Structure 1
Amino acid sequence: MLFLTSWDDGHPSDLRLADLLCKYNLKGTFFVPTSNKEGREVLAKEELRRLDRNFEIGGHTLTHCYLNGLAADVLNHEICAGKAAIEDDLGHSINGFCYPGGVFDSRTICAVKAAGFDYARTVENLCFDLGKSAWLMPTSFQFYPHSAFVLAKNAIKYPKISKFNIVRMRWSEKEFMRFMEAQLADANHHSSVFHLWGHSWELDEYDLWGKLESFFKLTEHYPIQALTLFDAHQLKN
């Protein structure tokens, strides 16, 4: 089983998350804007460089701006200037991009490609593969106790019959951690991809750190191959 994790928004609590990933020999990709127009803190340059020592850093626009409907010059500036700023801070290029809020269209995809990124991640959930397109990389689960109703909305947006089976499982299993444990076991049984994503600020806000560590402990019972998203993309290609 390939085990991937990715984390959005570049909050300073990403450093706590990095320590937890290291503790369990797991990999992570962190998608970072240079500022956040919603008012949340972002990593300072030295914090970002510390994170970069052991993990992959990806782009997440300049200001965490949703990209649909923007004028072409603003769209390109958000993507390209965000990439350039992170690369300037790190002193090397970055490869991956994540669409803020999971919002994108064909113009957005073209702009991300033109900016020189190699792949882009979406917020499509309930997938256990790397996707058919490098610009539409899906995920398995967000680490947040979403209800079956929320999972169903995501499944309707990105429809596939197998997803609705998972929604039914969530409807039957109301306890989030038991549900997640069952999904991890099933992914291992089928030797598939398990891609966990989330936000460190959300772990703070909803006191999910203990649950996340318990979930990471479960990975010790399986023969996982932990990869960054870029490594998984390279493996696929």
Structure 2
Amino acid sequence: MKNAMKNRRTRLLAVLLAGVMALTMAAGLTACKTEGGTEDGTATELPTEAPTEEPTEAPTPVPWSVDEQGRRLAGSDTKVVRDGTPKKYFTMSFDDGITQDEHLIEIFNKYNFKGVTFFINTGLFGANWTWVGQTLGMPSLTHQRWTKAQFKTGIYDGFDVACHTVNHGSLKNYDEAGVINEVQKNADDIYELTGIYPLGMAWPGGDTEYTNKTVDIVSNQTTICFSRGVSGTNKFNLPKYWLKWMPTTTFGDGKMALTLAKKFIESDCESDMLFYVWGHGYELDYYDSWDELDELIKMITEAEDIVIVTNSEFYWLFKDEIPKWK
């Protein structure tokens, strides 16, 4: 009787041991697969300790934020994360969507620089503004906008594209419906062309061509969240209002931009700083300042402590801290 019970216990123990060994082998094979081992057990060692459960990684977040209509929102895919440490931010923008932008992009791509926003007018594709060169005393200077077909070839692929109104008119001369149409249709057109919905704009014609009433209309009746003016501050302050975002300086002949860049790089960063340079591509032909742009981009991209962002990315980083308008 005792021998029978003993034999039975022995068989049960053998079964249990076999089960434990099977589980251990399975765990060992799984861990090996994770680290590059093979399913047939080649070069597999049994664990010396009980296997521990690997932590489950959080799901990868959707890279884009979308609006109520499911449209991807410009800048919402930024990889920049604010961690509470003051940082130096750099951004640029160029207006009108003209053929000199191709040369700009060549320089930007040379340094893998993406911190620029191009503001375009979707009602002026193909327009040739010969009066620009004539006004500047250089009749040979071109201000030729891309045609719609040229735009659709992907000239601005990989870059931030935003609004400059449909027709570049003086918005202070439009009634409310006219302002809304110029701005909102421009945004809708850009989305149709790029698949990304713009949140930003540059005021057409400069800071004398819109009023506080115009800003109120844009703020309350359109989807625009920020709009750049042209009056340079020569400072590295963050914007006071999103809809009156004043840049640090225009690029022009490049001299002031380079001077400020050196100052920016050498400055101690005790609070968040922003260096914003804007311009038009034709101005670099006028001033022959392409080498200066190359020097600026090289300087900025080689600086270790500068965070390069598009206008739209910067908006997403600070949208909850800066008021849209009064």
TM-score tier (shorter):
0.7 to 0.9
Question: Residues 20-35 of structure 1: matches in 2 within 5 Å?
Answer: 20-26=107-113, 27-34=115-122, 35=124
Which of 86, 93, 96 matches 2:197? 93
C-alpha displacement of 1:217? 1.6
| 1-structure distance, mates of 2:200, 2:120 | 10
Q: Which residue pairs with 1:74 in the alignment? A: 178
Q: Equivalences for 1:9-158 in 2 at 5 Å?
A: 9-26=96-113, 27-34=115-122, 35=124, 38=129, 40-49=143-152, 50-103=154-207, 104-113=210-219, 114-126=221-233, 127-145=235-253
Q: How many residues align?
A: 209
Q: 1:192 to 1:186 in 2, by over 3 A?
A: farther
- Distance in 1, Cα, partners of 2:312 & 2:256: 29
TM-score w.r.t. structure 2 length?
0.58
Give the Å deviation of 1:224: 1.3
28-37 or 41-50, larger mean C-alpha shift:
41-50
Farther off after superposition, 199-208 or 124-133: 124-133
RMSD: 2.4
State the alpha-carbon separation in 1 of the partners of residues 240 and 256 from structure 2.
Answer: 29
Following superposition, which runs of at least 4 residues in structure 1 exceed 6 angstroms of deviation?
none
- Equivalents in 2 of 1:28, 1:178: separation in Å? 17
Please identify the structure whose Cα radius of gyration is greater: 2
- Matched position secondary structure for 1:68: helix
Cα displacement string for residues 99-140 of structure 1 (whole angstroms, at most 9, x for unaligned residues): 012232122213323221121111131231331211111211
Q: State the Cα deviation string for residues 132-161 of structure 1 (Å, max 9, x = none).
A: 211111211110149xxxxxxxxxxxxxxx
SS in 1 for 2:215: helix
TM (normalized to structure 1)?
A: 0.77
Gaps of 5+ in 2: 1-87, 131-142, 320-326
In structure 1, what is the Cα distance between the partners aligned to 2:268 and 2:279?
A: 21
More helix by proportion, 1 or 2?
1
Matching residue's letter, 2:212: S
Q: 1:107 to 1:178 in 2, by over 3 A?
A: closer
SS in 1 for 2:172: coil
For residues 223 and 257 of structure 2, the distance between their equivalents in structure 1, rounded to whole angstroms, comes to: 38
Q: Distance in 2 between matches of 1:178 and 1:229?
A: 20
